[in-house]
């Protein structure tokens, strides 16, 4: 951590003599550290600028959202960026690295999967509430953090290119999954027929992006890097995809992978309690289609990466991405 102390911390703090920097969390995108020093505790992050091509946009988005939530008396904790001593939101080093510092949200815990139906309900309600407080934030103030992130049409086109190129010689061994994805192309067509408003959305809503207090009540919605203009149905769909199945996306216990009607109902109940009064009728009537399109898109992404030789998603064994694809196919099949 000497390098961090000497070259980074002086950009944020006048005195770093008593700073302690400790690796923190289990995130796969950024390098994250817990930073303790006499005036307070912080999160220090090196932003992955290969995934997020415009890190300055991330910082601007987060500051805009943070200020908007505070001004509108959002009841939960928000992410606060500590500016560099020169007033910049991030530090860009001579090595083209990007570093940022957040205030640490104290006395919290997080969960990788729900432990109870109460937590499932809280997850739906908390993300619905988050979207409710962003509904009046002008779209023009937010830059897309990952352009075309939920462009399912483009994802499908990339999938077709991967089949045509077959650079890893995997088309033959995944023919069944390829045919299933093609067969479900109608889901994309159904979604594209909808007339739904573009809103400011979280774009990665799941229970692991919530912080709970020690009474297991939600204290904060975190991971704002993916906040962007998008469709609310995608956010609800991702809540269902990650929170309404007892098996996660890494499971190969395919016979048990299905959307639980009970979990789905609880998530929907919590979500609608925070959003029902201002959703359009098209949005409210098509929440389930939101789940279908997101699961379909994720299956496409896993299969495309498998066909291209596992370039995007980190894998720990050879067939992990095709197994992830089968997982999402089973999940979607349980709805259809």
Indicate whether 112 belongs to any domain.
Answer: no
Q: Are residues 68 and 135 in the same domain?
A: no
Burial status of residue 57 (CB atoms within 10 A of its CB: 0-12, 13-18, 19 or more): middle
Q: What is the pLDDT of residue 18?
A: 81
Neighbours of 27 (CB within 10 A): 12
Tell me, what's the pLDDT at 292?
Answer: 98
Cα separation of 188 and 297, whole Å?
A: 9
Q: Are the C-beta atoms of residues 307 and 299 closer than 8 Å to each other? A: no
Is 95 found in the same domain as 140?
A: no
Backbone angles phi, psi at 31, to 5 degrees: -90, 120
Answer yes or no: do 126 and 270 share one domain.
yes
331 domain-assigned: yes
Domain that holds residue 224: 117-335
Give the E-state strand segments of the chain in sequence order.
Answer: 20-23, 31-37, 40-47, 81-82, 91-92, 98-103, 199-201, 210-212, 218-221, 228-230
**Residue 21: its pLDDT value, please?**
87
On whether both 66 and 31 belong to a single domain, the answer is yes
> Three-state SS for 320?
helix
In a domain, 111, yes or no: no
Q: How many CA atoms lie within 13 A of 290 on its CB side?
A: 23
CA distance 210 to 123: 8
Task: Of 10-14, 19-23, 261-265, give the range with the top mean pLDDT.
Answer: 261-265
State how far the Cα of 114 lies from the Cα of 8, in Å rounded to an integer.
37
In this structure, what CATH number is given to the domain that contains residue 29? 3.30.200.20
Question: Is-contact 30 59, C-beta < 8 A?
Answer: no
Cβ-count burial 206-245 (b if 16+ within 10 Å, e if not): bbbbbbbeeeeebbbbbbbbbbbbbbbbbbbbbbbbbbbb
What token pair was written down for 13?
Answer: 């703090």
> Are 37 and 169 contained in the same domain?
no
CATH number of the domain within which 301 lies: 3.90.1200.10
Cβ neighbours for 188, distance < 8 A, ≥ 6 positions apart:
152, 153, 156, 293, 296
Between residues 7 and 58, the one the model is more confident about: 58
Regarding whether 271 and 247 lie in a shared domain, the answer is yes
Q: Report the alpha-carbon distance of residue 100 to residue 55 in Å, rounded.
A: 10
Do 276 and 314 sit in the same domain of this protein?
A: yes
Q: Per-residue pLDDT tens for 175-233? A: 999 999 999 999 999 999 999 999 999 999 999 999 999 999 999 999 999 999 999 99
Tokens 């994250």 belong to which residue? 32
pLDDT tens digits, residue range 45-101? 999 898 899 999 999 999 999 999 999 999 999 999 999 999 999 999 888 899 999
Same structural domain, 200 and 325 = yes
Q: How many domains does the chain have?
A: 2
Helix, strand, coil share of the chain (percent; to 5)? 45, 15, 40
Task: Tell me: do 178 and 318 sit in the same domain.
Answer: yes
Contact (Cβ atoms closer than 8 angstroms) between residue 186 and residue 296: no
CA distances to 228, 262, 276, 284 from 132, in Å: 15, 24, 10, 14
> If you average pLDDT over residues 229-251, what whole number do you get?
95
């Amino acid at each position: 951590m000497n390098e961090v102390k000497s070259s980074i911390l002086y950009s944020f703090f006048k005195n770093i003599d008593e700073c302690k920097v400790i690796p923190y969390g289990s995130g796969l995108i950024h390098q994250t550290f817990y930073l303790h020093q006499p005036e307070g505790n912080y999160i220090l992050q090196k932003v992955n600028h290969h995934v997020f091509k415009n890190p300055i946009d991330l910082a601007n988005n987060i500051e805009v959202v943070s200020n908007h939530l505070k001004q509108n008396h959002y009841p939960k904790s928000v992410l606060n960026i500590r500016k560099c001593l020169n007033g910049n939101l991030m530090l860009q080093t001579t090595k083209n690295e990007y570093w940022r510092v957040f205030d640490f949200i104290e006395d919290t815990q997080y969960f990788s999967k729900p432990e109870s139906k109460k937590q499932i309900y809280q997850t739906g309600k908390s993300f619905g509430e988050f979207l409710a407080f962003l509904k009046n934030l002008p779209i023009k103030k937010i830059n897309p953090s990952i352009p075309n992130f939920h462009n399912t049409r483009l994802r499908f086109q990339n999938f077709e290119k991967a089949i045509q190129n077959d650079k890893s010689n995997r088309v033959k061994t995944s023919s069944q999954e390829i045919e299933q994805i093609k067969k479900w192309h109608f889901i994309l067509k159904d979604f594209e027929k909808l007339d739904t408003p573009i809103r400011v959305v979280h774009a990665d809503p799941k229970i692991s992006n919530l912080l709970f207090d020690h009474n297991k009540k939600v204290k904060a919605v975190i991971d704002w890097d993916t906040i962007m203009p998008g469709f609310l149905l995608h956010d609800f769909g991702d809540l269902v995809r990650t929170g309404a199945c007892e098996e996660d996306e890494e499971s190969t216990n395919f016979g048990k992978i299905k959307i639980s009607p009970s979990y789905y109902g609880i998530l929907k109940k919590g979500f609608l309690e925070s959003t029902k009064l201002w959703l359009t009728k098209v949005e409210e009537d098509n929440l389930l289609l939101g789940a279908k399109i997101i699961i379909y898109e994720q299956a496409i992404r896993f299969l495309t990466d498998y066909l291209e030789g596992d370039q995007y998603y980190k894998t720990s064994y050879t067939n992990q991405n095709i197994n992830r694809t089968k997982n999402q196919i089973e999940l979607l099949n349980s709805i259809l």
